Amino acid sequence: MTLFQLGYVAMSVHLKNSSPSQTMTFKRFSQFENREAAIRKLELIAKSNLENCLRLLKHNKAYDITFFRLSSRLVPLATHEELSNWDYITPIKDELKAIGEFATKHDMRVGFHPDHFVILNSPKKELLQSAIKNLKYHYNLLTAMGIDPTHRCVLHLGGKYENKMKSLERFIENWAYIPPHLQNMIMLENDDKIYTTDDLLYVCEKLNIPFVFDLHHHKANHEDFNWEKDWNRIVDTWSHSPLPVKMHISSPKSEKQFRHHADYINADMFRGFVEAANGSTEKIDCMIEAKKKDEALIQLMNALERHPQIEKNNAASFYFKT
């Protein structure tokens, strides 16, 4: 049997005043008369974000949740071109270390999903360089936490531009410009509009990149609706990874707004995936992308454990009995 572990994204609806994504705009930064004072303010915000992040991990531990996506906005303006000389790591090294130590102690899988503008298949060199800079930021955070950066950042394949196939091949060409230590961080996810499961398999198999399968995206954007025929190939892209297979689960907000994420997860849809994927690998980490965050996870577990074939392992993981 496969162990299915549930996780959620960045923020909790149960833990109050715990945002790890507090920020400051560059406009506000520029309004400070003293640049050093403005930087100190950024550092205070970052410390607050990291303290809240640690609170979230402790909250998760109480609910047996050991799979969690960290906010990419932990350090505001860290990648802004006007702050390129700012050493943002040193002032927050203790907070970063505390997060890493807690996650390691409790065997928590944490990682990032950099913003949509982190695109590796752009025809513009400056956009590629900007994406590399953003990946370095995530690498710096992970290494300062003491967490192995390998396969900790999920990216989409990128933009379509004028020609989808040329843009797909450009990703492969641009891959050579990504430093190896940043390449090792990356996993790729199928998206809901442009790049399908078939597209991602082509790239992931060619470049030896783990494929994070998004079931909702596949339903919205596919060449062949039947994802099951490719599942073993998806699992095989993880054969060289130190981490278990990872997938994303969300539900459509409505038929009209099919691509939008609902507040909660449709338990029947997810259970269909579970039944089909069961036994294919030892463990699958399932990242819930739902508006209600940890409450969506709790409600999904409550719905699943009422099914006779679901064997609860703990409050956030289960087996499917055949």
33 contacts: CB under 8 Å, gap ≥ 6:
none
Residue 63 CB coordination number (10 Å): 17
pLDDT at 44: 98
DSSP 277-289: HTTSSSEEEEEE-
- For residue 276, the number of C-alpha atoms closer than 13 Å in the C-beta half-sphere is 15
Mean per-residue pLDDT, 164-169:
97
Q: Which of 137, 158, 149 lies closest to 110, judged by CA?
A: 149
111 contacts: CB under 8 Å, gap ≥ 6:
69, 70, 151, 152, 153, 154
pLDDT at 114: 97
Which superfamily does CATH assign the domain made up of 3-320 to? Divalent-metal-dependent TIM barrel enzymes (3.20.20.150)
pLDDT in tens, 204-244: 999 999 999 999 999 999 989 999 999 999 999 999 999 99
Mapped onto helix, strand or coil, the DSSP state of residue 186 is strand
* CA–CA separation, 310 and 290 (whole Å): 22
Q: Residue 13 carries which side chain, given as an amino acid letter?
A: V
pLDDT at 92: 98
Q: Is residue 77 within 8 Å of 134, Cβ to Cβ?
A: no
Q: Which of 191, 190, 183 lies closest to 120, judged by CA?
A: 183
pLDDT in tens, 297-309: 999 999 999 999 9
- For residue 77, the number of C-alpha atoms closer than 13 Å in the C-beta half-sphere is 23
- Write the CA distances from 198 to 201, 206, 232, 236, integer angstroms: 5, 12, 13, 14
Q: Do the strands 317-320 and 245-249 form a parallel or antiparallel pair, or are they unpaired?
A: unpaired
Residues in the chain: 322
Residue 29 CB coordination number (10 Å): 18
pLDDT > 90? residue 262: yes
Q: Residue ranges per domain, the chain?
A: 3-320
Q: Which of 298, 274, 216 lies closest to 250, judged by CA?
A: 216
Give the model's confidence band at 322: pLDDT under 50 very low, under 70 low, under 90 confident, else very high. confident
Mapped onto helix, strand or coil, the DSSP state of residue 211 is strand
pLDDT in tens, 91-142: 999 999 999 999 999 999 999 999 999 999 999 999 999 999 999 999 999 9
Give the model's confidence band at 172: pLDDT under 50 very low, under 70 low, under 90 confident, else very high. very high
pLDDT > 90? residue 193: yes
pLDDT in tens, 19-75: 999 999 999 999 999 999 999 999 999 999 999 999 999 999 999 999 999 999 999
Q: Which of 72, 77, 95, 80 lies closest to 40, judged by CA?
A: 77
Give the model's confidence band at 259: pLDDT under 50 very low, under 70 low, under 90 confident, else very high. confident
* CA–CA separation, 2 and 294 (whole Å): 22
Q: Residue 182 carries which side chain, given as an amino acid letter?
A: L
Average pLDDT, the chain: 97
Q: Which of 75, 153, 81 lies closest to 115, judged by CA?
A: 153
